[in-house]
Structure 1
Amino acid sequence: MTSKTLDSFLNDSILDLKERGLYNEIDAVEGANGPVIQIQGKELINLSSNNYLGLATDERLKHVAKAAIESHGVGAGAVRTINGTLDLHITLEDKIAAFKGTEAAISYQSGFNCNMAAISAVMDKHDAILSDSLNHASIIDGCRLSKAKIIRFEHSDMDDLRTKAKEAVASGQYNKIMVITDGVFSMDGDIAKLPEIVEIAEAYDLITYVDDAHGSGVTGKGAGTVKHFGLQDKIDFQMGTLSKAIGVVGGYVAGKANLINWLKVSSRPFLFSTAVSPADAIASTKAIELLMESTELNERLWENGNYLKEGLKKIGFSIGNSETPITPCIIGDEKAAQQFSKRLFEEGVYAKSIVFPTVPRGTGRVRNMPTAAHTKEMLDESIAVYEKVGKEMGLI
């Protein structure tokens, strides 16, 4: 017999979320996650994936992944510190370091794991972390795990950051102080003010940490937000994911060799979780090689992003202050955002609604992610559907 207390909690909580328009229905994609997908037997233009460059279905990545399965098997077989470090993992980490312009890099099983691993390996209860108020959930959880004092500063507000950094240093309470920010904020598409952050960090001797999960492959002609600003020698931690623009799965931290050496002996997901598969490692390496060799996919991504933005703005949608291809259509009311997403689905466009707690209450939206793999015809069709549904619902 299951717990009546648990059943009551779950039933009441799920009902409450549904009544407030905050319950997320999960759809299964039937096949590959490309520019066009199939869900429930229906073909849809896909504007919800993070497959920014279309590499998740790239034939070159599939080829090397298949070869790696033949040569190395389907799994790493152990944690990295026993005998789960394959030559393919070393090759991947060397390639990441070259890509990011750092001395070394360490790879993890996911981007979320990176933030859980790296922050808590360096920061502890005697330290403080200055964290942007819109930082990703994995940063927030990583900060909490470290037990450091978390000091939030207003989103991209450099005056607030400077004031709070000055106060933290003057208090004399902390051994180390870190400032941590997303490079690209995934729900609004704006870019962190890294030059100003570095200036403040240098003035107050702050450790700098940039989560560039949505910047790698996108900003800096593909090399990321840190390189976009030419700050690879100024940022202590460059964290990123291999599951978005890179198209595979996993994450990494790039930085000085002594930092990476420390993470290899102290970060718990590295120590206690089996490494990514050989196929994932070699496919990620191949994707990074492609980005280092050519900016073609990156340029196509930006071209498509700008095209969709202009089209949605022209018909009257609010897309916020995005500086990247990430294109939010901000609706406001959570139930309206979910209904809007549902109607888009019915008309052949898959654009998932994003509501609290992923975004602040009252800022429900549909987040659009045009990729390098979309054609102009797909984007034109999507804009036409947005106009039809938007007018029908009185949103434009």
Structure 2
Amino acid sequence: MLAVLGFVGVLALTTSLIHLYLWKRLVRDTTTPGRWRRVGGIAALVLALLVPATLAGTQAGLYWLAWPGYLWLAVMFYLLVVLAVLEVPMLVTRLVLRRRLTAAEPTTAAPEPVLVATAEPTTAAPEPVLVGAAGPPESPATDAVRAPDHDPARRLLLARGAAIFAGLTATGITGYGVRTALGPPRLDRVQIPLAKLPRSMDGLRIATVSDIHLGPLRGRAHTERIVAAINRLDADLVAVVGDLVDGSVAELGPAAAPLRDLRSRYGSFFVTGNHEYYSGVEEWVQEVDRLGLRVLQNQRQEIRARGGVLDLAGVNDLDATGSTGLAAGPDFAAALGDRDPSRPVVLLAHQPLAAVEAAQYDVDLQLSGHTHGGQVVPFNLVVRLAQPVVSGLGEVDGTKVYVTNGAGFWGPPVRVGAEPQISLVELRSA
């Protein structure tokens, strides 16, 4: 409970700070006091409340919140990124304008004042008059007009220009990202040499897919399209490496049903991802098994093909650590220990980070997902801090790790710089 409250607290604080910044840059800096500033303030407050309402509401079955809430989350993210990037050129612009105005001001010294008095001796001496003086000191208002960084009209113009640019850029990127995320998965073909692979098994093909994320925004048609794409590959094996669903079997069972139509020569296999543990993992393990996919829960399967033998292993997701029963955490020793070391072994593990421990068991290749390839640039830079490989083929302590981008999305229906993907991994004998 404390962990949940802590997460909610951090989310509320972060959301509030982001929307406060957006309100300042998009509303306060671009309007004068009055009706439009009040309208903008109310809109910013409503949008700030929409984010946590969407995250909580979709969990409670209020799926009508998903599209507006998640779309705003994407626009909000890119508004924040673009405006943050614009902070530097905006500051430079103000400094340049101030320097230009300072350089244009006259620098000639003012003449010395001369005291002038009337000649009549009988009359009272008149007040002296300063001739040639520079005049009375300029008021603060005059100074404000001269300084570009304090000129209300100039500041308003710059702020509006930045806001318009940020708005058009954020909505344009989001629109492109929605089109990409909802489009068909791209096929990625990769050849990976394994030193222990028998020559008779050269060219063994594994269709790999992850992060399908059936849920509020993706349903049965999404699954059908993925299954059809995999079946066209005519693969030897099919590996579904986690994060199939964001919801219970009761809610999403019909959406997952097309998985029963997957075709391969030597079987279809599944390992759990972290989202299965948020969605009733015990029920989903039984449901996926019922649909004809072998669930590898800290287990190993011997694959005999083309006169050779390969070990296919699978471990539960790292986030399951501490659970029991069907939801037990990863057990690398159970899946990889006491095996014939002369055989090549391919490990299915949802998170690339699992390779740190898998490497201790001399795993030849690990197939993973989880990262979505970053899903939205520049978030991929943050993912690199948590996972050793974000997308494509890498290596961790001598173990090759291939990470597929995933065929779905989580949260905003947006992908920028990381197209949805199905991967065909072809094993080659070295």
Q: Could you state the TM-score of these two structures normalised by the residue count of structure 1?
A: 0.26
Q: Could you state the TM-score of these two structures normalised by the residue count of structure 2?
A: 0.25
By relative contact order (CA 8 Å, sep 6+), the higher-ranking structure is 1
